Chains A and B, each alone.
Chain A
Amino acid sequence: MKIRLYTIPLVIASISLIIIFMALQFELSPPMIVGESMQARSFPIFLMIINLVLVTFLAVQFFNSNPEPVPLEGPPTWGTMLLLIIFYLLTISTDMFIGIAVVMFFMSYLWGERRIYLAALTAIITPISIFFLFDLVLRVRFPRGVLIDWYYG
C-alpha cells in the first residue's frame, strides 16, 4: 500500500479534525439568544463532518485509480516562495515598497531574466508608478516605513 497516495486525504482529514477541535472551544450562547437557531460552533462542525465524508470518498477514489504522484516543484518555485517570505520580513522591518522592488528584481533574475538593467528598471519603475497612482489619484495612505516616512516628511 502506497502511503504517499493518501497524503492529501490525510492532510485534509487532519485539518478538518483540528477545525472541529477548535470549533468545540467556541463559547456557548444562552438559549434565550440562540432561540430555535443553532450555536456558533454547530455550522463549522457540520461542514467539517461533510468534509470528512468527502475525504473518505477521495481516499477510495485514490485507492481505485492509483493516481500518479505529483512531481516536486522546481527551484524557481521554491525560490519564489522564499522571496515571498523575504518580502514579509522586509516589509515589517523596512518598507513595503523596498520589499516589492527587491522581490521583483530577484524574481526576474530567478525566472531567467539575465538583462540586469531591464530587471532593475522594472523593479524600480513599476512600484513607483503604482505608488503615485494610488497615492495621488486613489488617495491611499501606505504603511509607515523608511521610504514612506521620508516621502510624507
Chain B
Amino acid sequence: MIEALSAMGSVILDPNLLLLIFFTTILGVIIGVLPGLGATTGAALLLPFTLTMEPLHAITVLTTIYVSATFAGSITAILINTPGTPAAAATTFDGYPLAQKGEAGRALGIAVVSSTVGGIFSVFVLCGAAPLLARVAYEFRPPEYFALTIFGLSMLASISAGGAIKNLIGGVFGVLLATIGAERVTAIERFTFGLNELYEGLAFVPVMIGLFAMSELLIQSNRINQTINAIGLKAVKLPTKEDYKKIWKTIVRSCGIGTFIGILPAEGATVASMIGYSESRRWSKNKEEFGKGSIEGIAGAEAANNAATGGAMVPTMVLGIPGSGTTAIILVGLMVHGLRPGPYLFTEQVTTVYQIFGAMLVANIMFLGMGLYAAKFFARISLVPRAILWPIVFSLCIIGSYALNSSLLDVWIVLLFGVIGFFARRHGFAVAPIAVGLILGEMVETNLQHSLKMFDGEWWLILTQPLAVFFLLLAFLGLCGPFIFSLLKNKIGEKLNPK
C-alpha cells in the first residue's frame, strides 16, 4: 500500500513526467475537439511516436490522451453541436441547447467539473479494484482464461455502435485475423500467402491505425460539405452553489455507472455516457428540462464517460482484455513496451503500474485547468478545415505505421484495413469489435489448446471448472442480454401503446 502510494506520488516529483503529461494533455484536448479524431484514433496515431520512450512515459502518453480526449469531446459537443468523440454524443442533447440560450460558459463549466470528478473517482477505483482482481486472477488456469476471453468477446454484442449480430461477426473476423501466421503448436503457416513478414502474425498497430484512423479519413471524405455553426463563448464559468446542489447526486450516480460500465470487457465511455444520461433523466425531478439544456443531463453524461476511462483500464491491465477501443490501443502499447498485461504485472512491475495510475490522476487534474481557462482557444481549433487536417492525418498514418517495423507491408496493411474498416462502418459494422477480436484471438486459441491438453482432449471437462462455468454463464447472458432487452422493450412498448 505504501509502495503504491509512493509510486503514485513520485509522478508529482518527476518534472519530466509532469511536463510530458502537460503537453500530452494539450495534445489530447486538441485531438478531442477535432471532430472525427477522438481518443482511439489519436492514441493509434501517437503509438509509433512512443516507440523510443521508456515504458512508463509511453503508456503515460497513451493514457493521458485517453482521459483528456474523452473530456475534450464535450467542448465541441456544447459549442458546435458536434461531439468531438462518440463518448460526448450524449452531451450534445443538453449541452448545445444550453449554449444556444447564451449559457455556453456554464455548460462547459459543468462538463469540466463533472468530467474531472468522474475521472478522479475512476482512478481511485482502478487503484483499489485492479490489485484485488489481480489477486483473484492469479488462480486462473487455461480453462478460466479461455472462458474469460469468451466472456470478453460476448460483451461485443452490447457495444453501442452497430447491432449485436454485426458486432459479433466483427469480433469473429477479428479472432480470425489473429490466426494469421505460424500456428503456435504445430508451426503450420496459416493465411500468410507466402509472405515471410506474416509468419509471426499480423502486427496489431498497422491494423489499429487502418481500422480507426484511415477508415475515419474515408468517412470524413463524405462529410466535407458539413457546415458548422459555432456558438460564441466568453468565459467558462464554474458551477454555482445552486448548480452543485442540483447535480451532485447525478455526478455520484454517474461516477458509479461509468466506472462499472468501463470495467465490463469491451464496453466503453460511449455506452457509459448514454446510460449515465438516461439514468440522470430517470432520477431527475426536472425531467421536462432534459433536451432543452438540463445541467443534470450534461453532468450525468460527462461524469459517466470520464469515469469509464479508469474502469476500462481494470480489465485491460489485470486480465489483458481491453475495456474499449482506446484501451485496445493502450494494451498494444503495453505489449510493445514489454509490459505483458495480466495479474503478474501487479507483482513484477508494481511501481510502474502505480506510476501509470498516478499519471492518469494528474492528467485528470490538468484537463480541469485547461478546460476552465483554455476551452475558448481549443474550441477555435475545431474549426480547422477538414481539407487540411485529414491529409496531415494521412501522412501520420503512413509514416507512423512504417516506423514500427520499418516494413512497407505494414503501410499496405494500413491502407487495406482502412478500406475494409470504411466499408464495414458504412454498412453499420463497428470496427472496435474487430480490434478487440484481434487482440483476444491468440488468448482464445492458446487457452483452448492448453485446456484440451489439460483434459486429454475432453473439451467438456472445461465445464467442471466452477470459475470457467461462471464466466461462460456471464458470456451467455452477454450474448442474450441485448435480445432479451429488446424483447422486453417491445413488450413494454405494446403495453404502453396498445393498438
Chain A positions within 8 Å of B, measured between CB atoms, are 8, 12, 19, 22-23, 26-27, 29, 33-41, 43-44, 47-48, 50-51, 54-55, 57-58, 61, 67, 70, 73-74, 76-77, 79-81, 84, 87-88, 91, 96, 100, 103-105, 107-113, 118-119, 122-123, 126-127, 130-131, 134, 137-143
Those 9 A-B pairs whose CB atoms lie nearest each other, nearest first: A36-B457, A113-B387, A111-B387, A104-B391, A40-B183, A40-B188, A29-B186, A37-B449, A107-B391
* Alpha-carbon distance A81/B219, docked complex (angstroms): 11
List B contacts of A119 (CB < 8 A).
Answer: 387-388, 391
Interface pair A26/B452, CB less than 8 Å apart: no
List B contacts of A105 (CB < 8 A).
Answer: 391
Q: Does B222 contact A (CB under 8 A)?
A: yes
* Alpha-carbon distance A105/B457, docked complex (angstroms): 58
- Name which of B91-99, B172-180, B231-239 contacts chain A: B172-180
Q: Does B185 contact A (CB under 8 A)?
A: yes
* Alpha-carbon distance A127/B449, docked complex (angstroms): 46
Interface pair A34/B165, CB less than 8 Å apart: no
Which of the residues A22, A58, A107, A137 comes within 8 Å of B191, measured between beta carbons?
Answer: A22
CB distance from B81 to the nearest CB of A (A): 21
List A contacts of B173 (CB < 8 A).
Answer: 51
9 residue pairs bridging A and B, Cβ less than 8 Å apart:
A36-B455, A48-B176, A57-B165, A103-B394, A104-B395, A105-B391, A110-B221, A111-B391, A134-B399
Q: Does B19 contact A (CB under 8 A)?
A: no
A-contact 0/1 string along B389-404, CB 8 Å cutoff = 0111011101100110
- Inter-chain pairs besides A100-B398, A107-B394, 4 sampled, C-beta below 8 Å: A80-B218, A96-B408, A96-B411, A141-B406
Given A38-B449, A51-B172 in contact, is the A29-B221 Cβ separation under 8 Å? no
List A contacts of B224 (CB < 8 A).
Answer: 76, 111-112
Q: Does B73 contact A (CB under 8 A)?
A: no
* Alpha-carbon distance A12/B408, docked complex (angstroms): 28
CB distance from A71 to the nearest CB of B (A): 9
- Name which of B116-124, B298-306, B412-420 contacts chain A: B412-420
* Alpha-carbon distance A122/B396, docked complex (angstroms): 13
Interface pair B186/A44, CB less than 8 Å apart: no
Interface pair B395/A40, CB less than 8 Å apart: no
Chain B positions within 8 Å of A, measured between CB atoms, are 49, 51-52, 163, 165-166, 168-169, 172-173, 175-176, 179, 183, 185-186, 188-191, 217-218, 221-222, 224-225, 385-388, 390-392, 394-396, 398-399, 402-403, 406, 408, 411-412, 415, 418-419, 422, 426-428, 445, 448-449, 452-453, 455-457
Q: Which residue of A lies closest to B166 (CB)?
A: A58
* Alpha-carbon distance A41/B8, docked complex (angstroms): 47
List B contacts of A44 (CB < 8 A).
Answer: 176, 179, 190-191
* Alpha-carbon distance A61/B428, docked complex (angstroms): 13
Interface pair A127/B190, CB less than 8 Å apart: no
Given A36-B457, A48-B176 in contact, is the A126-B190 Cβ separation under 8 Å? no
CB distance from B103 to the nearest CB of A (A): 34
Interface pair A37/B217, CB less than 8 Å apart: no
Interface pair A74/B403, CB less than 8 Å apart: no
* Alpha-carbon distance A140/B173, docked complex (angstroms): 32
List B contacts of A23 (CB < 8 A).
Answer: 190
Interface pair A100/B394, CB less than 8 Å apart: yes
Which of the residues B390, B426, B453 comes within 8 Å of A36, measured between beta carbons?
Answer: B453
Interface pair A47/B388, CB less than 8 Å apart: no
List A contacts of B172 (CB < 8 A).
Answer: 47-48, 50-51, 54
CB distance from B200 to the nearest CB of A (A): 15
Interface pair A108/B388, CB less than 8 Å apart: yes
* Alpha-carbon distance A39/B408, docked complex (angstroms): 32
Interface pair B419/A81, CB less than 8 Å apart: yes
List A contacts of B189 (CB < 8 A).
Answer: 26
* Alpha-carbon distance A61/B162, docked complex (angstroms): 13
List B contacts of A110 (CB < 8 A).
Answer: 221
Q: Which residue of A lies closest to B222 (CB)?
A: A77
Interface pair B392/A140, CB less than 8 Å apart: no
CB distance from B481 to the nearest CB of A (A): 15
Given A47-B172, A112-B224 in contact, is the A70-B387 Cβ separation under 8 Å? no
* Alpha-carbon distance A111/B386, docked complex (angstroms): 8
